Structures are given as structure tokens and as C-alpha cells.
Structure 1
Amino acid sequence: MSTSGQKVVVITGASQGIGAGLVDAYRKLGHLVVATSRGIADSRDPEVVTVRGDIADPATAERVIAAGLERFGRIDTLVNNAGIFVAKPFTEYTQEDYDAVIGVNLAGFFRITQLAVEQMLRQGDGGHVVQITTSLVDHALSSVPSALASLTKGGLQSATKALAIEYADRGVRSNAVSLGIIKTPMHPESTHEALGALHPVGRMGETGDVVDAVLYLENAPFVTGEILHVDGGQSAGH
């Protein structure tokens, strides 16, 4: 059970890259953590509970929130970090591509956010939901075909604002961090120079850039409905 003063954060897509960075950062902030992904390892930290599962499956969301409540007794923040990006010309997307991207990016957001917000409202002392999206929603690039990313992550950005307004008077905040291309294990080092050149600042972002943005929002009680761009200037133009 959560001790006095300790908050509890749920982080999806938490096994590597940005998600793993967020787990470490929230622990340093003093939060208890519920971390989930398909391949996440068992935790050796008694203040981190891990749940393996596909977030596209609503049953995974049910197990994640249940595990957090069983171990820590409350949910204060949800970071919807899990996501799939498939870069293909629009006419080459397959039904399998569509199902996979919609499943993780939209269905994966939907059920766990319902459950987390429901618990925050039950607690009665507010809460925070953060979505990780992409600046391609705001500034498409001809060199990076991204219709499925725009369809799904654009939906999350709209939902972010809708949730912010729906629950503003009940203390539950909703924000998003909209990313450029970040150095994570999904991008081989051989691609870094070319990917960096897509950003006006001439480089890729670091995991720490994303973590800092999420923690800023975590500690900004007057900020809700914000789409915070962490994208090396990409959304501003080229």
C-alpha cells in the first residue's frame, strides 16, 4: 500500500527507451511505479510492480490497474507511452498494419485511461494523464509517410484536450508531449545522421529530453490541455 505522501504512476511501453527512462525518473521523484509492456522483466525494486501484456488487449489494462491498486492502493498519474509507428506509403498499409497500430495507439490508450481516470475520480484528490504523440501530426514530412501515425496520434492529441476540459473542475489534468525523432533502440545508429537532419536543430532528441518534458507537466498544476512539442523545432516548420 502507498505510504503517506507517495504518489503512484502507471507507465505503458515501459521496458526500454523512453518508457524505461520514465520509470527511473519517476522513482527518483519518489513515486511508486506500475510499469507494463509485452516483454518487461520482473522488477527487483519493491516500489516498482511490472505487468507483462499487450496493451492493445483491454484485459491487459484491467490487470495493470488492478495490480497497481492491489500493491499500492491508488493511481495518481498515467503516462500513455506505448506506441507503434509504421512508415509506409498510404496505399501500402496492410490490414495487419492497421490493426496493430490502431490496437496499441488507440485501443491501448482507451481502456487503461478509462480505468485510471475512474480511479482518480474515486480518490477525489485529482490526477494526471499524459499522452506521448508525434509532431508529424502537426507537420507532415514527405520523406516520412505517416498517415497511420497521424490518424492515431492525432486522435490522442484531440482526446487530450477533450479530457482536460471534461475533468478540469475535478482536478484531473490531461496533457501530451509531441515528439520529433528520439534516439531509442528502435533506431539503429547508422540512421541517426539522416534522422537528425529532419529536425531544424540538426539532431535527434534524447530520452532525457522527453523525460524532462513529462516531469515538467507532472509538476505544473496550472497546465492542462497542453500539447508540448519536444521536436527540435520540427512542428514550427522547415
Structure 2
Amino acid sequence: MSKKTVVITGASSGIGLGLAKAFLDAGYNVVGTARSAERLQEAAASLGNPASFVGVAGDVADPASARKAFAVAIEAFGSVEVLVNNAGFFLPKPFIEYTPEDLEALLDTNLKGVVYTSQVAAAHMQRQGGGHIVNISASVALQPNISVPAALPVLIKGGVNQMTRALALELSPHNIQVNAVAPGIIDTPMHDPAAREFLNNLAPSGRVGTVEEIAEAVLYLAGASFTTGVVLAVDGGMSTGKW
């Protein structure tokens, strides 16, 4: 059986880099995207420069970047079975302090990137008779938290959650499963180590999650044949409600 191929957006660091490693370890070919070609080269080096990893530089907010990523993937490996829409960033702040520039940046990366890349993936997967799309959402979009003001990320990731459900229905006749993983606070370099005690207390589990725990959930959904339209919280219970 030939190896499957996954396209992962935002694959040069954090959760995206962890996902690239997990998929490589699971026997996939990986096409990783990021804005910076230099960062992708560093990511490839950290992964051991495997022949089954290809980096594609581009901005997910540009529809041409999605087309380029899939063209490179198909040229290198023949097909794409899985898309992971991971590229994104989190910008918590009081609602009245968000600027127009903040809104545009969040829409560009966290929403447009998901839409454009999913459109290219859906068209490709329809032609080949199936596939999986996994969106990376956020626990806070399932259950806002008074300790973490983040109305705009909640708005946009909430939209991604609803798009996940809508696409799961629309694409089901084509044997395409569409799901999402909603991480809670995950141990990545974006978090200040000095804030660890505060972050640990945001979930009833009393700790932050690991990139490996997110990767386990994504890998499950990337292979699930009877699961679609699900937003799977991997957040230590953070989205369950107030505790």
C-alpha cells in the first residue's frame, strides 16, 4: 500500500511542527507550509531532513499559497489524503482594545487560511474519491473564559467550528470526513514559563497539555472512517464549564 500524504499549514513551529513529526512517525509523507522558507528549513533539519518532508513557503491568506502547496504535494507524492488546517495565532485582549489591524490579521490567518486551503483540498479529494480535513480550533471557542478575554478569537474559531460541521455534511457524499480538534492551553514556546501556574489553573486537570496529546487526536481523526462533523476538545476539561 502506498504511503498517504498530509498537508499541514503552519508546520514550522509549535503544534504544527509536532504534527509534522507525528505524521512522519506514523508513516505519512508530509508537506508543511509556513510563511518563512528559512523557518521551514530549520523545521526540516529538526525533523532529520527526511525525504518524506517537503516545505512550501507562502501566506495561507493568499489563495495561491494553497494551490501551490497541493501542486507541490501532488508532484512529489502523487496525491493528498489529509489536510490539517493548523496555521493560526491567538490574540487575547479586552474587547475594546482590539484594533482594525488585529481583526484583519486574525481573519487572514485564522479564517481565510482555513477557507482557501479547504477549498483546494475539497476539490482534490472529490476527484480522488475521499479524504480527511482536520481543522485546529480552540477550546475557548467552545467555552469562553472570564480569565482569558478573547472575543475575536472566539468569534473566528467559532466560525471554523460551524464550518467544520457544515462541510462535514456537504462533503459526506464524496467520502470526505471533516472534523476539528479544539486544543486548550498547550505547552509551546509561545507561552511565558513565568505564567505556568496561571495557565495550569485554567483547566480542571490542573495542567497544560502537550503537543503530543494534540497530535494523537489529530492522527485519530485523520484516519477515522465513521467520524465526521466533530469538534473534539483536547483541553483537560477546560471547555466543560466553570469549576
TM-score category, normalised to shorter length: over 0.9
2:94 & 2:65 partners in 1: Cα distance? 31
Partner of 1:236: 240
- Deviation of 1:59 after TM superposition, in Å, equals 2.0
1:28 & 1:81 partners in 2: Cα distance? 18
Q: Which runs of 5+ in 1 are unaligned?
A: none
Q: Which runs of 5+ in 2 are unaligned?
A: none
Partner of 2:218: 214
Partner of 1:202: 206
Please tell me the residue identity of whatever aligns with 1:31: Y
RMSD of aligned C-alpha atoms?
Answer: 1.1
**SS of corresponding position for 1:78:** strand
1:19 & 1:107 partners in 2: Cα distance? 18
1:97 aligned onto 2:97 = no
1:69 aligned onto 2:95 = no
Partner of 2:131: 127
1:12 & 1:90 partners in 2: Cα distance? 28
Name which of 143, 153, 157 aligns with 1:153.
Answer: 157
CA contact (8 A) 2:33 2:40 kept: no
Please tell me the residue identity of whatever aligns with 2:211: T
1:202 & 1:120 partners in 2: Cα distance? 40
Q: If the length of structure 1 is used for normalisation, what is the TM-score?
A: 0.95
Which structure carries more helix by proportion? 2
**SS of corresponding position for 2:61:** coil
1:87 aligned onto 2:92 = yes
1:147 & 1:185 partners in 2: Cα distance? 23
* Aligned pairs (5 A) from 1:1-238: 4-39=1-36, 40-42=39-41, 43=44, 44-124=49-129, 126-238=130-242
How many positions carry a matched residue from both structures? 234
Please tell me the residue identity of whatever aligns with 1:47: S
Q: If the length of structure 2 is used for normalisation, what is the TM-score?
A: 0.93
Work out the percentage of aligned pairs sharing the same amino acid.
Answer: 47
> What are the superposed Cα offsets for residues 59-116 of structure 1, whole Å, 9 maximum, x if unpaired?
2212111111121121110000111211111111111100100000110111111001
CA contact (8 A) 2:11 2:40 kept: no
- Deviation of 1:33 after TM superposition, in Å, equals 0.8
CA contact (8 A) 2:161 2:231 kept: yes
